[in-house]
Amino acid sequence: MTMTWKAPSRSHGSGLIGKLAQANIDEVAPVDDEVVVVRDDDPASAPVRQRLTAGTLLRVREVTGARELAALTAGGRTKAVVLCRSGLSLVTLHDAVAVVRQACPDTALIVLDDQAGEARHEVARHAGADGLINLAQDWKVVGEAALAAADRRARGRAVGDAIAARSDTDLLRALEGEWPLALLVVAVNNLETLAGRYAHGDRDALLLSLAIRLRPLLRPSDSMARTVDRSLVIARNDDDELAIAALADRLLRACREPLVVTEESVPVTVAVGIAIGVRPPVAGGAAAAGVLEQARGALGRLQNRGRAAYELADAALQARVTAQRQTEIALRHAIDEHEFRVFYQPVVELQSRALTSFEALMRWQRPQFGLFDAATFVEAAQRSGLMTRIGQTILQEAAAEAVRWASTGSTPPALSVNLSQQEYLLPTLVASVGRILSEVGLPPGRLILEVPLKLLERDPLSARSILRDLASLGLTLVADDYDGELTSDLRQLPLRMVKLRMGLLDGIESDAERRARVAGITAQVRAAGWLCVGKGVETAAQAAILRDLGCHGGQGFLFSGARPAEELDIFQDAGGVWAWAPQARPAPQG
């Protein structure tokens, strides 16, 4: 199945910010660009991330040193770097900029400075900065400057990529050793006719304009070349066919507006042939030549159709991409038709067996198919960019339900909600959570947000800023899927609780080594002043062991499976008091 692009009907904002905001809310695979802030590990500079996030609507990550920066930008996804240092002399300003430029030579670099003077601008530029902005400027200006600098660099690089055609020999030599390797061959449909009609026959000018249009969509680590057969070849070190297909989607979308060639507007459609090589069957360029030949073969099957489309050379990969797209379509329909349901699983205090909270778990009620667990569709939702919409919908519904749990003379249970990676990195996360709580009337103190441990460990400085902003709302923060050491970075986070990784309790009744490991984890957590909750508690013996180890709470089928809201009255006695009871154990909805 060939994938085609359909133009969205919604209007677009103006300027770079408007365009990027639109890119982030369109129902397509999310752009993985990010802005990295290099700053002092000082609370005074902590608001930089929050303000810049609001200014760019891109995800913003933070580091304090060049080594961390080099590691973070090595993946090639960094759109721009913002250096924020205060109190620097001209010499130290130059040195600081030079260090950052050395760590990321091809990335846009903007300096935020707390002093004025033309000399500082010149010093920063000499050291490699694309611009210097005073901290007193509006943060939207800072964001616009960072993205504009990234756009200029990308466009300038596109000229170098496409100003001269490269032979296959040169191209393959450059790709030698680049594995895994994804190649996208982009060609303009009816190039000869378009060039003759609009561009005075200058086909090379049209291709150069196309390269300038497409290059800002690529990662700095991607390569692009114009080949003698008048196509553009894009190379990326990635074997994720879904991510590559998402890139092809963005390339097609970028061509919805006409190109400007020699002062003429030229409407174009492009076709994209894709091939992916996971590992070279033989060393050197011969293997890359095979991937290029496959991509061109896929392109050849498209070119006579005259429409915007892409095709993967490998039928099995194309089938997986097609299945992903079909799932995305179904997910969009599910959002519009309110097919997502929230189920609730209780968390019980192990010592007293009191009911402390319910964790909201999403399910997909598909007509004619039945009820689906989140694990069956979360990956597709994440890849399609729909997870944020789904997650916010779930939070809104669950929070409204939690308001109804309040009853006279009884302390209502708290509501626990999981944050997905997309929601965690959402620039407007804090504002969105605050708005939902205000709209439904749920006190922030009754909301628990669970953040996967891997997100907190991946970028500790950013985690500190994000969680601090969330904690300012008055809610409780939890590290989910916990099974490791309590590092100094984690200790600095405003956490109140950890939830043990699912499966960590398996065999704990008879496995002394497993029991010792859990004992060590719970001891560390208690020493930090946090609460510990065990997940996947299925037997009374597991619950007793956790209780004796000092674990505060338990969650699992021993107490109850996840239940729809209409069944939660099983956890209330005749007086309306919330409490766990053994009769809640049967869990037909599991």
Beta bridge mates, 578? 572
Residues 130, 211 within the same domain:
no
Sheet of 34-39, strand order: 59-63, 34-39, 78-84, 108-113, 131-134
pLDDT at 58: 67
Sheet of 232-236, strand order: 3-4, 309-312, 270-277, 181-188, 232-236, 223-226
Beta bridge mates, 535? 555
* Residue 248 · residue 315 · CB < 8 Å: no
Residues 290, 169 within the same domain:
yes
pLDDT at 317: 86
Residues 536, 400 within the same domain:
yes
* Residue 546 · residue 351 · CB < 8 Å: no
Residues 205, 106 within the same domain:
no
DSSP 517-535: HHHHHHHHHHHTT-EEEEE
Is 311 inside a domain boundary? yes
Residues 119, 255 within the same domain:
no
- The token pair at 479 is 């590290």
Residues 357, 480 within the same domain:
yes
Is 579 inside a domain boundary? no
pLDDT at 54: 63
Residues 260, 295 within the same domain:
yes
pLDDT in tens, the chain (590 residues): 443 333 333 333 333 333 333 333 233 334 456 778 887 655 555 567 666 776 566 677 787 777 878 877 777 778 888 888 778 889 999 998 999 888 888 888 989 888 878 899 999 999 999 989 887 777 778 888 888 898 898 888 888 888 888 888 888 888 877 788 899 999 888 887 777 777 666 788 888 889 999 998 888 888 899 988 889 999 998 888 888 988 998 999 998 888 888 777 888 888 999 999 876 655 444 588 888 998 998 888 887 666 788 888 888 888 888 888 888 889 988 988 899 999 999 999 999 888 999 999 999 998 888 888 888 888 888 887 888 889 999 999 999 999 999 875 678 999 999 998 888 888 788 889 999 999 999 999 999 999 999 888 887 877 888 898 899 999 999 999 998 778 888 888 999 999 999 988 988 888 888 899 999 999 999 999 999 999 999 999 999 999 999 999 999 999 999 999 999 988 988 777 888 877 666 544 44
Residues 185, 240 within the same domain:
yes
Residues 351, 318 within the same domain:
no
**DSSP code for 31:** P
The CB-side HSE value for 139 (13 A sphere, CA atoms) comes to: 12
**DSSP code for 201:** T
Whole-structure pTM value:
0.76
Beta bridge mates, 275? 183
The gap from C-alpha 572 to its chain's centroid, in whole angstroms, comes to: 39
pLDDT at 57: 64
Q: What CATH number does residue 38 fall under?
A: 3.40.50.2300
Is 333 inside a domain boundary? no
Is 308 inside a domain boundary? yes
> Which domain, by its residues, includes 481?
344-361+390-573
The gap from C-alpha 261 to its chain's centroid, in whole angstroms, comes to: 35
Residues 398, 264 within the same domain:
no
* Residue 334 · residue 366 · CB < 8 Å: yes
Residues 174, 261 within the same domain:
yes
| Last residue in a domain, options 118, 135, 158 | 158
Residues 349, 462 within the same domain:
yes
| Last residue in a domain, options 97, 127, 158 | 158
Domain total of the chain = 3
Is 58 inside a domain boundary? yes
Is 11 inside a domain boundary? no
Cα radius of gyration rounded to whole Å, the chain: 27
Cis peptide before 180 (omega within 30 of 0): yes
Site of tokens 């050291």: 127
Site of tokens 């090379």: 204
Is 384 inside a domain boundary? no
Q: What CATH number does residue 399 fall under?
A: 3.20.20.450
Q: What is the 3-state secondary structure (H, E, C) of 233-268?
A: EEEECCCCHHHHHHHHHHHHHHCCCCEEECCEEECC
| Last residue in a domain, options 95, 127, 158 | 158
Q: What CATH number does residue 245 fall under?
A: 3.30.70.270
Is 23 inside a domain boundary? no
Angle between helices 540-548 and 512-527 (to 10 degrees): 50
